[in-house]
């Protein structure tokens, strides 16, 4: 039984008709300005701290599921490389069709050197590049650059100087390239109790303008997964 078949019953976002010049499957994103991503861990992972393949649900602000996502990786690299492992993540729509694929290269979470920085390639649909997420060399603030399919810088994501699991929420701001305008944000909601871990082990929210280009919304979603893996996976 695959991940799609094992999903619990949940209200899904209504079907959206195809839109010209919009990658198939991303039509749902044209109608939203917020996303909530939720991971559900199994009991074995919570009790033993043995990391397994991550699975997520992506919902709108009404609790309707838009997508679900599944990480695919090499078992050896999972246990040897931990939270900085390379992986492929496939994001499916509610019909089980592949709509977005993320490819993460092997890198390091260290921002003191530009030789092993993190990066993601994003395709939508699979096989069609729509952009990239690159970690920037910045020793004080965690910083990422969103690039379009032509490798042109489009926007920046910047986090706080200190990231602690003692905080209730941690925000990473989506900024214009001149760093003067906050366009949106990624917010990590940290679970503090075992009951939270069993129910909603890992949650984060994403906000962006409803009229933001749909490809940039998909890149923001991809960047949020990367940020969560780099800074919060151990905390989750």
Q: Where are the domains of the chain?
A: 3-231
Q: Which residues of 45-69 are buried (b: 16+ CB within 10 A; e: fewer)?
A: beeeeebeebbbbbbbeeeebbbbb
What value does the mean pLDDT take over residues 93-104? Answer: 94
> In this structure, what are the phi and psi dihedrals at residue 44, rounded to the nearest 5 degrees?
-60, -40
Distance (Å, rounded) from C-alpha 85 to C-alpha 8?
A: 28
- Which among 104, 175, 105, 190 is positioned nearest to 143, based on CA atoms? 175
Contacts of 151 (CB under 8 A, 6+ apart): 132
Beta bridge partners of residue 155, listed in sequence order: 146
Alpha carbon dihedral 157, 163, 169, 172, in 10-degree steps, equals 0
Using the 8-state DSSP alphabet, how is residue 14 labeled?
P
- Band of the pLDDT at 90, cuts 50, 70, 90? very high
pTM of the model: 0.83
User: Residue 44 CB: number of other CB atoms within 10 A?
Assistant: 10
- Identify the CA nearest to 52 among candidates 22, 17, 87, 26: 87
What CATH number does the domain located at 3-231 have?
2.40.160.200
| 92, containing H or E segment | strand 87-93
| pLDDT tens digits for range 185-210 | 999 876 554 444 444 457 899 999 99
Least confident of 125-129, 137-141, 179-183: 137-141
pLDDT band at residue 22 using 50, 70 and 90 as cut-offs: very high
User: For the residues 156-162, what does the mean pLDDT come to?
Assistant: 89
Q: Is the peptide bond before 61 cis (omega within 30 degrees of 0)?
A: no
Specify burial of residue 101 (Cβ count, 10 A radius: 0-12, 13-18, 19+).
buried
Nearest Cα to Cα of residue 86 among 105, 64, 69, 99: 105
């Amino acid at each position: 039984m695959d991940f799609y078949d094992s999903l619990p019953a949940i209200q899904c976002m209504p079907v959206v008709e195809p839109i010209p010049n919009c990658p198939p499957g991303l039509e749902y994103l044209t109608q939203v300005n917020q996303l909530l991503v939720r991971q559900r861990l199994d009991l074995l992972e919570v009790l033993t701290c043995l990391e397994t393949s991550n699975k997520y649900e992506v919902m709108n602000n009404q609790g309707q599921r838009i997508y679900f996502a599944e990480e695919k990786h090499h078992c050896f690299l999972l246990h040897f490389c931990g939270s900085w492992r390379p992986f492929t993540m496939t994001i499916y729509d509610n019909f089980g069709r592949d709509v977005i694929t993320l490819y993460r290269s092997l890198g390091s979470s260290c921002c003191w050197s530009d030789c092993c920085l993190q990066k993601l390639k994003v395709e939508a649909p699979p096989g069609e590049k729509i952009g990239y997420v690159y970690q920037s060399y910045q020793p004080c603030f965690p910083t990422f650059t969103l690039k379009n399919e032509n490798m042109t810088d489009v926007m920046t994501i910047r986090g706080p100087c200190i990231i602690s699991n003692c905080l209730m929420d941690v925000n990473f701001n989506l900024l214009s390239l001149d760093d003067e305008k906050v366009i949106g944000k990624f917010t990590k909601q940290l679970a503090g109790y075992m009951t939270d871990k069993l129910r909603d082990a890992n949650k984060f929210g994403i906000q962006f303008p409803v009229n933001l280009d749909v490809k940039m919304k998909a890149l923001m979603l991809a960047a949020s997964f990367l940020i969560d893996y780099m800074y919060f996976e151990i905390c989750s």
